Structure 1
Amino acid sequence: MFPYRGTYLRHVGETQAVAESNQVLLFNALQGYQVSHPVDGGDASLVLVLDEELLRELAPKALTWDKNAFTFRQQQLGIDPRAQALVALLRHSLRENVAERLEAESLSLTLAQRSLGSSTTHSAGANAGRQRLADRTKLILASDLSRRWALADIAAKVGVSPVYLTQVFQQVEGVPLYRYQLRLRLAHSLDLLGQYEDLSQLSLELGFSSHSHFSASFLKTYGRTPTEFRQVALRR
C-alpha cells in the first residue's frame, strides 16, 4: 500500500507505522490490524495486490520469514523519490484511463521491485524509543505541510534538543529531517499536479518560497520539471 494523500497510523499488535507518502506499507494475508487518524484530512493510497509467487521472486530474503506462507518481517519500508514518481505515474495513468493493461502491469511490477529492493528502500534500524520519536516528528510535519518549520519548534514539540532530534531522525529514517519534509511536499505535489493549471499557486500552497524554487526542487528530485511530469503522467 502506497499512501499518496494524508497520513494515518497502522497498528499491528503493539507496533505501529506512520503511513504517508515517504513509505510503503506491507500487509500479510490474514494478519489483523487497526488504523487511526491523528492528523485530520483523511487519506488515500495506491494498493498493489501481488501473487505470492511474484512476491517471493521480488522480495529479498531479509524482508521475509522462512515459512511455508509468505510473510513480511516488518510492516513498512521507506521508499525513494523514484518510487514516489512511479506511484503518481501509475495512479494518474489509471485514473485518466490512458494506460493500456501491459503498461499498467509493467509499471506495477517495476514499482514493487523498486519498493522492496535493498538498494532503493530504507528499513528503520533503531530502538523503540527512537522510532517513536521519529514517528511523532513525522506526524508533526504531516499536520501542516506548507508550514516553514523551525527546527527548534519541532524539537520543542517532541521534547528533545534540536541536535538530538536531527541525529535520531537521520538514524531512523536514513535522510536528514529537512530532506524528509521536502520529499513529503514534493510527493503531495505529484498528487495535485492534475488539479492546478497555475503551478505557481501550487508551489506557494505547498510552502515553497517561489515557483522557481519548487520547479528546481522537483527537477532535482524526479528528473523532470512539474510541467514535463504532468505531460507524461496525464498525457496532456
Structure 2
Amino acid sequence: MPEFEVSHLLDTSTVAVRNVRCRGICHHSDAEECVSDTHLVFPYRGVYLRHVGSDQAVADANHVLFFNADEGYRVSHPIEGGDASLSLCLSESTLRELAPNSLLKDCGKLGFRRQYQRIDPRAQALVALLRHGLDNGTIEPLEAEGLFLTLVCRSLGPRTSHAPEATYARRRLADRVKVLLASDLSRRWALAEIAAEIGGSPVYLTQVFQQVEGIPLYRYHLRLRLARALDLIARYDDLSALAAELGFSSHSHFAAAFRQAYGRSPTAFKQSTQRS
C-alpha cells in the first residue's frame, strides 16, 4: 500500500478539496516539503506533528492547520494508526475576503501568521457532512461550495478564533497531552494518569492546557472522541457499538454528548449523510 492515498472530492474555480489519508509509517520527521498554494487542512482522524522550523503543531480533529505557500515543513507521526484530513485550496481572492486580517501575514504571498487554529464542534460536523456527502454523491457541487465557505468562515471568524498566548514551553507541554489523548480515544483517562504519563502535577497540567487551548482538557478529549464518531458513523448499523468503541459509558451518554455538540442525534446525523 502507498504511504498516501489522495481522493479528489471537489474541483471548482472557488475551491479544490482533497481527502488525504496517510498510513503514518514514518515516526521520525520526514524530509522537508512545501505546497505551491496556501491550504487549509482539517484533520478528522488520527494525529500527526507538523514542524515549521523550530515551531511545532499537533494536527488533530480539534484544529484547522494552515499550510502556507512555499513555506517548508516536515511531518512526523508520534503514534501508530495513520491519519486523514480534508485539504482545502481556495483562490487567493476568496481566502483574502474570508480571513480576518489579524490572521494573515502583513506582506508577501498570502499566508497565515501561525500554524493552526482551534475549531468548534459545528465546524467538525460540517467537515464530516461534506466528506460523507461528496463521497457518496448526495451533495451537489454548488451546495458543497457554499458549505465549504461556511466552514472556512466559522473556522477563521472571531466567534471561533483563539490565539495561543502561552509560552513556548507550555505549548509544548500541551502538545504532549494532545498526542497522549489521541493515542487511545476509547480510554477513560483520569487526570492523575495523564499527569503520570506526561510529568507534572494534575493541577499544573489542567491550568496549562486551559491557558493554551482555551477549553478544559476533558472537553478537548470529548471533542476528539465525537469527531471520531463523525468519521465512523456511516459504517455502523449499531450505534451502541460505536459508543462502546469510543469509551462512552452507554448509548444514551454518547447520544447526549453528540446532540449537545452537533445539535442533532447520532441517528439523525447518520441519516443526513445517506439522504437520497
What's the TM-score, normalizing by structure 2? 0.84
Paired residue type of 2:192: A
Higher strand share: 2
Aligned to 1:154: 194
The Cα offsets for residues 70-112 of structure 1, whole Å up to 9 and x where unpaired, read as 1100010000001000000110000011111101101111111
Does structure 2 conserve the Cα–Cα contact (< 8 Å) formed by 1:80 and 1:121? no
Aligned to 1:207: 247
The Cα offsets for residues 33-86 of structure 1, whole Å up to 9 and x where unpaired, read as 111000110001011101111111111111111114211000100000010000
Q: CA deviation at 1:123?
A: 2.5
Aligned to 1:77: 117
The Cα offsets for residues 172-198 of structure 1, whole Å up to 9 and x where unpaired, read as 001000100000000000000001000
Aligned to 1:18: 58
- Using the alignment, how far apart are the partners of 2:142 and 2:92 within structure 1? 20
- Using the alignment, how far apart are the partners of 1:41 and 1:111 within structure 2? 27
Does structure 2 conserve the Cα–Cα contact (< 8 Å) formed by 1:5 and 1:20? yes
Paired residue type of 2:147: L
Higher helix share: 1
- Structure 1 runs (4+) greater than 6 angstroms displaced: none
Q: CA deviation at 1:122?
A: 2.1
- Using the alignment, how far apart are the partners of 1:102 and 1:147 within structure 2? 40
The Cα offsets for residues 16-47 of structure 1, whole Å up to 9 and x where unpaired, read as 10000001000111111111000110001011
**Match 1:119 to one of 147, 150, 159:** 159
Q: CA deviation at 1:231?
A: 1.1
Q: Within 5 Å, which residues of 2 pair with 1:180-199?
A: 180-199=220-239
Aligned to 2:89: 49
Percent of aligned pairs with the same residue?
65
* 1:222 pairs with 2:262: yes
Aligned residues: 236
The Cα offsets for residues 119-156 of structure 1, whole Å up to 9 and x where unpaired, read as 11323221100000100000000000000111001011
Gaps of 5+ in 2: 1-40
Q: Within 5 Å, which residues of 2 pair with 1:98-177?
A: 98-177=138-217
Paired residue type of 1:67: C
- Using the alignment, how far apart are the partners of 2:275 and 2:234 within structure 1? 11
Task: Describe the SS at the equivalent of 1:48.
Answer: strand
- Using the alignment, how far apart are the partners of 2:270 and 2:99 within structure 1? 31
- Using the alignment, how far apart are the partners of 2:89 and 2:232 within structure 1? 25
Aligned to 2:29: none
Task: Describe the SS at the equivalent of 1:169.
Answer: helix
Does structure 2 conserve the Cα–Cα contact (< 8 Å) formed by 1:4 and 1:45? yes
- Using the alignment, how far apart are the partners of 2:189 and 2:250 within structure 1? 17
Query: Which gives a bigger RCO, structure 1 or 2 (Cα 8 Å, sep 6+)?
Result: 1
Aligned to 2:43: 3
Paired residue type of 1:208: F
Does structure 2 conserve the Cα–Cα contact (< 8 Å) formed by 1:4 and 1:44? yes
RMSD: 0.9
Task: Describe the SS at the equivalent of 2:43.
Answer: strand
Q: CA deviation at 1:234?
A: 2.3
Paired residue type of 1:78: R
- Using the alignment, how far apart are the partners of 1:49 and 1:233 within structure 2? 23
- Using the alignment, how far apart are the partners of 1:49 and 1:226 within structure 2? 30
- Using the alignment, how far apart are the partners of 1:193 and 1:123 within structure 2? 32
What's the TM-score, normalizing by structure 1? 0.98
Does structure 2 conserve the Cα–Cα contact (< 8 Å) formed by 1:130 and 1:168? yes
Q: CA deviation at 1:159?
A: 0.9
- Using the alignment, how far apart are the partners of 1:134 and 1:91 within structure 2? 29
- Using the alignment, how far apart are the partners of 1:103 and 1:233 within structure 2? 14
